[in-house]
Amino acid sequence: MNNKGKRFRSLATRISAGIILFGTLVFVTVLGANYFLSRNLLEEYIGELARATASSTVREIETVFTTVATNADSLASVVTKADINEPQIHDAIKAFLKTNADIFGMTVALEPHVLHENIGEFSPYYYREQEAYGYANLADNSYRYLEWDWYRQPKSNRKPVWTEPYLDEGGGNVLMTTYATPIWRRDDNRFAGVATADISLGWLQKLVDNIHIGETGFGMIISEADIIVAHPDKQRNMLKLKSTLEAEFIRDYWDVYTSSKSASHATYFHAPCRHKPGDCWVAIEPLLDTGWKIVIVIPESELVSDIMILTLKITALAVIGLIILVMVILSVTHRLTSPLARLASVTKDIGEGRLNIKLPRPQRNDEIGELTNDFRLMRDSLEEHIDRLQETTAKKQKLESEIEIAKDIQMSMVPGGGTVSIIEATYQLYALLRPARSVGGDLYYFQQDDNKLHFIIGDVSDKGVPAALFMAKAVTLYAGAMNDGLTPGNTFTHMNQALAQNNDACMFVTALCGTLDLDSGELTIANAGHMNPLYKTSDTSGELPVEGSLALGLMDDVEYPNITHQLAPGSRLLMYTDGISEAFNPAREQYEEERLLAFVSNCPETKAESLGTATMQDVEAFVNGAEQSDDITLMVIQYGNA
Amino acid sequence: MPLEIEIHAEPNEGKRISLAGSLDTDTAPQLQDKIDQNIDSTVHMVIMDLKRLEFLSSAGLRVIFKLKKQMDSHEGKFMLLNLQPQVRKVFDIIKALEGMSVFKSQEEMDEYLAAMQNKVLDGDA
Report the DSSP beta bridge partners of residue A443. A458
User: Is there a contact between A550 and B62 if contact means CB atoms under 8 Å apart?
Assistant: no
Closest of A210, A232, A217, A220 to residue A301, by C-alpha: A217
Whether A582 and chain B come into contact, CB under 8 Å, resolves to: yes
Amino acid at A483: N
Which range, A165-169, A349-353, A564-568, B120-124, has the best average confidence (pLDDT)?
A564-568
Beta bridge partners of A562: none
Min mean pLDDT across A8-12, A45-49, A332-336, B49-53 is at A8-12
Return the sign of the alpha-carbon dihedral for residues A342, A343, A348, A351: positive
User: Does pLDDT of A275 surpass 70?
Assistant: no
Whole-angstrom distance, CA of residue A100 vs CA of residue A92: 12
Q: Torsion-angle region of residue A217: left (phi > 0), alpha (psi -120 to 50) or beta?
A: beta
The answer to whether residue A563 neighbours chain B at the CB level (below 8 Å) is no
- A556 to chain B: closest CA residue: B69
Q: Which residue of A has its CA nearest to B97?
A: A550
Mention every residue, 6+ apart, whose C-beta is less than 8 A from residue B123.
none
Residue A235 to residues A153, A205, A223, A244, Cα–Cα distance (Å): 28, 12, 16, 10
Which residue in A401, A410, A454, A449 sits closest to A433, CA to CA? A410
Q: What is the DSSP letter of A222?
A: E
The shortest CB-CB distance from B59 to any of A461, A504, A530 is to A461
Q: Which of A92-96, A114-118, A483-487 has the lowest mean pLDDT?
A: A114-118
Q: Residue A237 is inside which H or E element, if any? A: none
CB-CB neighbors (< 8 A) of A555 in chain B: 99
Q: With an 8 Å Cβ cutoff, is A496 touching chain B?
A: no
Mean pLDDT over A132-161 rounds to 85
- The pair phi, psi for residue A237, each rounded to 5°, is -60, 145
- Segments of A90-217 assigned E as strands: 105-110, 124-129, 132-137, 161-162, 166-167, 175-184, 191-200
CB atoms < 10 A from the CB of A26, how many?
Answer: 11
Domain ranges of chain A: 8-341, 414-639
Q: What residues of B are in contact with residue A531 (Cβ under 8 Å)? A: 93
Is A508 an interface residue toward B (CB < 8 Å)?
A: yes
Residue pair A295/A282 in contact by the 8 Å Cβ criterion? yes
- pLDDT for position A2: 43
pLDDT score for A5: 54
Q: For the domain A414-639, what is the CATH code?
A: 3.60.40.10
Q: Topology of A8-341 in CATH?
A: Beta-Lactamase (3.30.450)
pLDDT at A281 over 90: no
Name the band, by pLDDT with cuts 50, 70 and 90, for residue A215.
confident
pLDDT of residue A3: 47
What is the DSSP secondary-structure string of A149-185?
A: HHHHHHHHHTS-EEPPPEE-TTTT-SEEEEEEEEEE-
Predicted confidence band of residue A559 (pLDDT cuts 50, 70, 90): very high
pLDDT of residue A262: 58
Q: What is the pLDDT of residues A296-308, one digit of tens each?
A: 888 877 777 777 7
Which of A464, A504, A551 shows the shortest C-beta gap to B94? A551
Reduced to 3 states (helix: H, G, I; strand: E, B; else coil), residue A200 is strand
- Residue with more model confidence, A101 or A181: A181
Q: Pick the residue with more confidence: B30 or A354?
A: B30
Which residue, among A182, A174, A140, has the nearest Cα to A157 in the 3D structure? A182
- Strands (E) in A355-450, as ranges, are 419-423, 427-434, 442-449
Measured distance CA(B62)–CA(A461) in Å, rounded? 7
Burial category of A354 from C-beta neighbours within 10 Å (exposed 0-12, middle 13-18, buried 19 and up)? exposed
Q: What is the mean pLDDT of residues A352-371?
A: 78
**Are the Cβ atoms of B93 and A529 closer than 8 angstroms?**
yes
Q: Residue A632 is inside which H or E element, if any?
A: strand A632-639
Q: What pLDDT shows up at residue A588?
A: 86
A580 in contact with chain B, both atoms CB, cutoff 8 A: no
Burial of A625 (0-12, 13-18, 19+ CB in 10 A): exposed
- The DSSP code sequence of A502-516 is T-TT---EEEEEEEE
Dist CA A533 CA A516 (whole Å) = 14
Q: What is the pLDDT of residue A246?
A: 58
**A549 contacts in chain B (CB < 8 Å):** 95
pLDDT of residue A1: 43
The pLDDT value given to residue A171 = 58
Q: Indicate if the pLDDT at residue A542 is higher than 90.
A: yes
Dihedral angle at the C-alpha atoms of A471, A472, A473, A479, nearest 10 degrees?
110
Q: Which of B62, B94, B95 faces A507 most closely, judged by CB atoms?
A: B62
What does the alpha-carbon distance between residue A82 and residue B38 come to, in Å, rounded to a whole number? 157
What's the helix, strand, coil split of chain A in %, to 5? Answer: 45, 25, 30
CB contact under 8 A, A629 and B58: no
Of B1, B65, B93, the CB nearest to A531: B93
What pLDDT band is residue A616 in, cutting at 50, 70 and 90? Answer: very high
**Per-residue confidence (pLDDT) for residue B125, from 0 to 100:** 46
CA distance A531 to A545: 9
State whether residue A463 sits within 8 Å of chain B by CB.
yes
- Confidence check: pLDDT of A531 > 70: yes
Residues of A in contact with B94 (CB under 8 A): 508, 510, 528-530, 550-551, 554
Write the CB contacts of A488 (distance below 8 Å, at least 6 apart in sequence). Answer: A513, A514, A515, A524, A525, A526, A560, A562
Mean pLDDT (chain A, rounded): 86
How far off is chain B from A637, nearest CA to CA, in Å?
22
pLDDT given for residue A259 in this prediction: 65
Tell me which DSSP letter residue A607 carries. Answer: S
Minimum mean pLDDT range among A276-280, A413-417, B9-13, B31-35: A276-280
Class of B3-124 in CATH: alpha beta
Q: Residue B101, Cβ neighbours under 10 Å: how many?
A: 15
User: What's the confidence (pLDDT) of residue A521?
Assistant: 93
From the list B9, B11, B8, B10, the residue with the least C-alpha distance to B19 is B8
Q: Which of A175-189, A360-374, A516-530, B34-48 has the lowest mean pLDDT?
A: A360-374
* SS3 state of residue A247: helix
Is residue B2 a contact partner of residue B27, using CB atoms and an 8 Å limit?
yes
CA distance A434 to A407: 11
Q: Return the pLDDT at A245.
A: 58
Q: How far is CA A491 from CA A476, A560, A564, A634, B43, in A?
A: 12, 9, 15, 21, 38
Region of poorest pLDDT, from A87-101, A106-120, A211-225: A211-225
A596 or A169, which is more confident? Answer: A596
Predicted confidence (pLDDT) per residue in B65-119, tens digit: 999 989 988 889 999 999 999 899 888 888 888 778 889 888 888 888 888 888 8
Q: Say if residues A486 and A423 touch (Cβ distance below 8 Å).
A: no
pLDDT in tens, A459-479: 998 888 889 999 999 999 999
Which among B65, B94, B99 has CB closest to A506?
B65
Contact residues for A245 (Cβ-Cβ < 8 A; gap 6+): A274, A275
CA dist., res. A266 & res. A274, Å (int): 22
- pLDDT score for A332: 85
> Mind listing the pLDDT tens digit for each residue in A120-144?
888 898 988 877 888 888 888 777 8
Reported as a single tens digit per residue, the pLDDT across A51-70 is 888 888 888 888 888 888 99
C-alpha pair distances (Å), A558 with each of A203, A393, A527, A553, B96: 155, 46, 12, 10, 12
Q: How much is the average pLDDT of A189-194?
A: 89
CA–CA distance, A393 with A216 (Å, rounded to integer): 96
- Which residues of chain A does B98 touch, with a Cβ-Cβ cutoff of 8 Å? 550
